[in-house]
């Protein structure tokens, strides 16, 4: 019996293939993922491109700044395995009708105006398979009155922005999903983590956990997760299905 939890490849199948590339996305799906998670930044000529960092230094063989470069410059960069940088529309054309996409809007280069423009792009595609997420609440507000699901990422709290203040944002922007980092279980007592999760469930929020790569971590959240984002696609699918099957055997 297969699990009803969606397993998404974090930036594709990034444990084995160059992250945020067509190859990584294809391999995540080939090996059984229900979908993919990807990141969006904006170029100097206003193109929305699929990359996590603000520069290409970590993932590419040439180091240039995304916001200071045109897409024509960026698409020449080798990301490994003959992969190059995709645009958001490239990705939507290729994958939106066959998989679940969690698209993270990066606050490094995007503004609320970009969110509205991206929403217009998404409307061309079957967005029942799309989840928009961001750490920046202001990038999500344009989705409040649309039927495109959106999720607030929690996990970058500071002294000025406490965990409590992030919880307040949930009431303000009313996201459909809460995207929680698995490392909350390393930071806070487990009883507190489960109290927070139960609170969100009481509010009828769906829960996304990121980035879950260990079997132990999977066991912490398998009874609560609607979506698990992982680098280790094959392992996570096996672990979750085995855990769910064991639970059913004990019923």
Q: Is the dihedral of CA 221, 197, 132, 42 positive or negative?
A: negative
What's the CA gap between 134 and 156, in Å, rounded? 11
Question: Catalytic pick from 52, 219, 238, 242?
Answer: 52
List the one residue out of 135, 167, 169, 132 whose CA is nearest residue 147.
132
Interatomic CA distance for residues 10 and 231, integer angstroms: 5
Instruction: Examine the residue annotation and report whether 52 is marked as an active-site residue of this protein.
Output: yes
| Catalytic (active site) residue 10 | yes
For residue 181, the 8-state DSSP code is E
Yes or no: say if 244 and 222 are a contact pair by the CB < 8 Å rule.
Answer: yes
- Distance, CA of 104 to chain centre: 5
Q: Where are the alpha helices (DSSP H) in 42-111?
A: 71-74, 88-95
Contacts of 184 (CB under 8 A, 6+ apart): 155, 193, 196
User: Which positions are catalytic?
Assistant: 10, 52
């Amino acid at each position: 019996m297969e699990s009803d939890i969606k397993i998404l490849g974090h930036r594709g199948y990034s444990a084995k293939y160059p992250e945020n590339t067509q190859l990584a996305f294809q391999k995540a799906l080939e090996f059984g993922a229900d979908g993919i998670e990807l990141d969006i930044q904006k170029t100097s000529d206003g193109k929305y491109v699929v990359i996590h960092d603000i520069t290409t230094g970590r993932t590419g063989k040439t180091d240039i700044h995304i916001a200071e470069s045109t897409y024509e410059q960026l698409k020449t960069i080798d990301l490994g395995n003959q992969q190059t940088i995709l645009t958001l529309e490239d990705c939507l054309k290729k994958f939106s009708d066959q998989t679940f996409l969690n698209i993270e809007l990066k606050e490094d280069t995007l503004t609320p105006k970009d969110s509205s423009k991206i929403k217009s792009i998404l409307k061309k595609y079957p967005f029942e398979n799309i989840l928009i997420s961001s750490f920046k609440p202001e990038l999500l507000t344009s989705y409040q009155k649309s039927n495109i699901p959106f999720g607030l990422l929690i996990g970058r709290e500071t002294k000025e922005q406490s965990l409590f203040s992030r919880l307040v944002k949930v009431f303000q922007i009313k996201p459909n999903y809460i995207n929680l980092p698995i490392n909350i279980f390393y930071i806070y007592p487990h009883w507190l983590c489960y109290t927070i999760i139960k609170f969100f469930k009481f509010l009828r929020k769906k829960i996304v956990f990121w980035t879950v790569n260990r079997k132990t971590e999977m066991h912490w959240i398998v009874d609560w997760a609607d979506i698990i984002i992982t680098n280790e696609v094959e392992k996570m699918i096996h672990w979750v299905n085995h855990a769910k099957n064991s639970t059913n055997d004990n019923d």
